A and B are shown apart, each in its own frame.
Chain A
Amino acid sequence: MSVKPSPVTPPIELRIPASSEWVRVARLAAAGVASRLQFGIDDIEDIKLAVAEAINNAIQHAPVPDKSSTLASVTLTLTVEKEGLRISVTDEGRIAEEIPTHNSTPRHGEDDLPEGGLGLLLIRSLMDEVSHVSGAHSDTTVHMFKRLPRLRAESKAAAAGDISPAA
């Protein structure tokens, strides 16, 4: 098991309009970055879904602008680390006064699951580390981390007292 030294990769950043038709672009970008690392297909799909859920939440909490102004943005940052991929999703937060957002009262209550809850549940199941940070301007960042499979297998093997790492 040798660790090849490699140069530090600067973060990859994507800022998209806070509107649902753009989530797909962010999913694909995250999948693209993950596929450059040694993640398998399942891990890449996990990352794609976790990013989708985080961005969904960010969009649903973004302020809805009136016709003359620009859409808010959501920022996706992907940082390649030695142990895995660190991802953060930041939204621009809500303006202080009462304004309509995409997440206004659903009309068909029974058709909606508590989507924020379900989304967060998914993120916590798919990623190895998850945390939430509220910024100074009521913006929110969700931080996520996915460990590389080789390291996951090795840490499991070490825990089990096994010498040979799992494939």
Chain B
Amino acid sequence: MDLRWRIRATDNISVLEIGGEIDLHSAPDLRNELHRLTESKAPRLVVDLTEVTFIDSTGIGVLVGGLRRAREKGGSLAFCAAQPRVRRVFEITGLLRALPLHNTRDEAMRAVGETSASAANSQGNSDVS
């Protein structure tokens, strides 16, 4: 129920597996971790939301922030495998276009594995306000 995560490094891609609830209380810790994971040049990160049982707007904000930072660093970030409940929050906020949710980790890894040039070109999504 508390927010927890685990990192698996595969090839050049890090996979952040998140579980539990991302809310006002736990989001700052996640923000710090995403910050850390996007510190290097051209970070490639998959954020696996399979075990996330709750997310609110602060959680969405942190995920968007992580995506932005990865792109600013010339890297890419993709999300995958959210429960319908979590996907619904992405949909309602209208962010599904800006934060594509892949169905499987493999898909997300493929998306991230594309050149960072094409990932950056995939949309001018930097203004999510």
List the interface of chain A (C-beta within 8 A of B). 20-21, 23-24, 27, 45, 48-49, 52-53, 56, 59-60, 108, 110-115, 117-119, 121-122, 125-126
Contacts and interface: CB of A to CB of B under 8 A. Distances in A.
A151 B76 CA distance: 46
For the complex, would chain B's binding face be called helix, strand, loop or mixed by DSSP majority?
helix
B68 A24 contact: no
B69 interface: yes
A113 B56 CA distance: 12
Interface size class of B (residues with CB under 8 A): 20 to 34
Contacts, number: 76
Interface stretch (B11-19, B85-93, B109-117): B85-93
B65 A24 contact: no
A108 B58 contact: no
Given A108-B65, A113-B128, A114-B129, A126 B92 contact: yes
Contacts of B65: 108, 110-112
Nearest to B27: A20
